[in-house]
Chains A and B, each alone.
Chain A
Amino acid sequence: MNWRQPTFALPLLIGLLSASGLLSALLGDGGWDAMAWIGLGVPTVLGCWPLLRRR
């Protein structure tokens, strides 16, 4: 089975990543902020990528 096949596996992972990003910046600066940028950066890139890709 393809790793992209299970309907909710990757969305769940992305959701958890987003949530940890949203929370980590509340806890501190520096490394915590960087974690937030990664956590929110991944869904942002995934959302933009199909729009920017040429047909």
Chain B
Amino acid sequence: MNSTTIRRWSQVHTWTSLICTLFLLMLALTGLPLIFHHELEHLLGDAPELREMPAETPHLSLQQLVDAAERHRVGEVIQYLGYDTDEPNGVVAITAATAGTEPNSSHTFMLDARSGEAVAMPAANGGILMVILRLHVDMFAGLPGKLLLAFMGLLFVVAVISGVVLYAPFMRRLKFAEVRREKSARTRWLDLHNLIGIVTLTWALTVGITGVISACADLLISAWRAESLATMLGPYRNAPPLTQRAPVNEVLAIAAKAAPGMQPDFIAFPGTRFSSEHHYSVFMQGNTHLTAHLWTPVLIDARSLEVTAVSRRPWYMDALSMSQPLHFGDYGGMPMKVLWAVLDVLTIIVLGSGLYLWWVRQRAPTTRREHKEAAA
């Protein structure tokens, strides 16, 4: 690699890093507690606790649960009912002023499926973890915030790749993991930056790219609505508004028949963004480890309870679904969460040392060439 090429890559690395570093530091810091959100919710007493009841206490019907949810939140309607594998006797209910209300204005709580009793889920509606989550997801700025963070994630990916390109000339005369401790602080930190950066590379790229995909979730869901949903709903284009819904009781059985071997994850009610104005949509998930992350929506006519379509997933919805575990690190038990956290801290150190190296070089422009030669 000649010196002009190195200088160009170096400029790419410097500028992409500089622009995204502050945002990435914020994301890495807020991401740290979010890795353990499940444990922290229990610790803070924010996790829903259901009353003790005899085992085998029968569950209410789905329609009774929907009625209980709407009685609990007077003036609101049900948007979603979700199933939680950790709590087989609980159903997560999401309600809002209208079915189409945006997610941040919704209210989330758990219903005891045996009694219909509402149990608060403070972590889903406010509280410190919700504040951290909103900072991490959109900085309280909605879609523009998400897209800005997606762009910063892209810059981060470019910074990582240009860093790998620059790793070659910097390491030409060094052995792997060699840290020149006897030299100046700058040289030592340069070696540490290179070493920690290269060993955490795969993880950082994975979390970066899946973060960008997740940040584009709203756009992907809109594309899915416009593309797949619109074609399936052709016959409903001029249908009169839904005034009478059939009880929701049977939809799970209907969906199970339409998508054999799958389990329900959540039900989207008519008018929400995961359904149409005329359908109950049951989102089924596969029952193998891998396919449990992938959704297959079953659209059920809310008046006749006939299956309109079992949706084929477009590839970008699969990419979105698979991005969730690979971004959160919640799919390999507690040891994986701990590793995720340590890798996150290592990324903070790479970001910080990068900023430091840039700062030192800025302050000593005359010795720039010497440093570069010392490094190479």
Contact = CB atoms under 8 A, between A and B. Distances in A.
Contacts of B339: 37, 40-41, 44
A26 B289 contact: yes
B198 interface: yes
Contacts of A28: 289
Given A15-B201, A47-B346, A33 B176 contact: no
Given A33-B332, A50-B177, A15 B290 contact: no
A11 B336 contact: no
B195 interface: yes
Interface residues of A, number: 32
B179 interface: yes
Contact of B342 (A4, A33, A48): A48
Interface in A17-55: 18-19, 22, 25-29, 32-33, 36-37, 40-41, 43-44, 46-48, 50-51, 55
Nearest to B325: A26
Measured as residues with beta carbon below 8 angstroms from the partner, the interface class of chain B is: 35 or more
Contact of B201 (A11, A22, A32, A33): A11
A18 B198 CA distance: 12
A9 B176 CA distance: 9
A2 to B, nearest CB: 6
B172 A22 contact: no
A18 B168 CA distance: 20
A19 B195 CA distance: 18
Given A22-B326, A29-B289, A50-B195, A40 B168 contact: no
A41 B177 CA distance: 17
Interface of B: 167-168, 171-172, 175-179, 181, 192, 195-196, 198-203, 206, 289-290, 293, 322, 325-326, 331-333, 335-336, 339-340, 342-343, 346, 349
